[in-house]
Amino acid sequence: MEAAIITIMALLFLSFVALGVFVTVKAVKATKRGVDRTLDQARRTVEDTTLRAKSFGQTGVAGELARLRLSLRTSMRATQEALQAGVGEDASLKESLDLFHRLSAHGIELDGDLKRLEREPDRAWVSGQLPELTARTERITSSADALRRAARERALKFAEDDLSMLSEQIDVEAGALRHWTTGPEAAHAAQDTYGTAPGATPASTAPKAASGDAGPEAGEPAAITAPDPRRTAYPWEKSTRPETTT
């Protein structure tokens, strides 16, 4: 009996130790991923700032290379953010995101080529490569811009269609709420019901209103009771001050 208890206690202890090791490893990995993301973001920020400074402050081959890299990185990053933000709400963008990943491989290769050419000492040879590099950059950025704009136009179209449908539903509901002002049919119905012209007080209900009868008799239309002004339904309504008694 004692041996079984000791065995159970040992197994529980080993289970807690394994669970603690597992939780620790997961926490360390999560922390490492967070640190890596922070470092990557900081490195991208530094590179973008450096490229922006070179594109404005330098002329010639160095400045042109910096402008090409900055244009490429800006376009690809904006497209990636737009597609990743929209794919959660629109599953049709998944194919567009797959196409962007293929395009991104060409963009990464081009950025690497431009980065290596920045360290090339033969500036004359690099200058001869600029037309081809400019054409490659424009092709990649044009494709990325087309994907990004199409995704945004699609989202705007869906939002516009939803707003139009909502406006139509609200118009129908507003008309239903104003059922007493729908036209001459409503006026004839009111005249048939009360036996008088619209707006006139029926003779059969006038004495009851004057005498303060509590409820309408069977067959008579129920009166529309005005809401109690002391009761508020919305936070922006001010509560009325109660009357003082002397």
pLDDT at residue 35 is higher than 90: no
Sign of CA dihedral 30, 34, 37, 39: negative
User: Region 206-211: what's the mean pLDDT?
Assistant: 44
Q: Which tokens hold the place of 149? A: 């704009």
Cα dihedral sign, 136-138-144-150:
negative
Cα separations in angstroms, 5 against 1, 14, 114, 170, 227 = 6, 14, 69, 71, 73
pLDDT tens-digit map of 46-57: 776 777 777 776
Query: In this predicted structure, what is the pLDDT of residue 51?
Result: 75
> Can you give the pTM of this predicted structure?
0.56
The yes-or-no verdict on residue 30 having pLDDT over 70 is yes
Residue 60 φ/ψ region, left for φ over 0, alpha for ψ in the -120 to 50 degree band, beta for the rest: left
Q: How confident is the model at residue 183 (pLDDT cuts 50, 70, 90)?
A: low
| Poorest-pLDDT segment among 44-53, 77-86, 116-125 | 44-53
d(CA 70, CA 24): 40
Average pLDDT of the chain? 76
Residues 6 or more apart from 70 whose CB is under 8 A from it?
48, 51, 52, 55
Local confidence band at 103 (pLDDT 50, 70, 90 cut-offs): very high
Position 113 scores a pLDDT of 92
Percent of the chain whose predicted confidence (pLDDT) is above 90? 33
pLDDT at 114: 92
Residue 205 pLDDT? 46
Q: 72, 82, 77: which is closest to 148 by C-alpha?
A: 82
pLDDT at residue number 21: 80
Per-residue pLDDT band at 188 (split at 50, 70, 90): low
Is the CB of residue 195 less than 8 Å from the CB of residue 202?
Answer: yes
Output the CA–CA distances (angstroms, integers) from residue 105 to 109, 111, 140, 219, in the order listed: 6, 10, 10, 80
User: What pLDDT score was predicted for residue 228?
Assistant: 54
Instruction: Look at 94 and 192; give whichever has higher pLDDT.
Output: 94
- pLDDT score recorded for residue 164: 93
Nearest to residue 198, comparing CAs of 212, 181, 213, 211? 181
CB atoms within 10 A of CB 9: 10
Interhelix angle for 60-86 vs 2-57, to 10°? 140
pLDDT above 70 covers what percent of the chain? 68
pLDDT at 182: 58
How many angstroms separate the Cα of 154 from the Cα of each of 17, 40, 84, 103, 118? 52, 31, 14, 21, 39
Higher pLDDT, 42 or 230: 42
Which of 103, 136, 101, 98 is CA-nearest to residue 117? 136
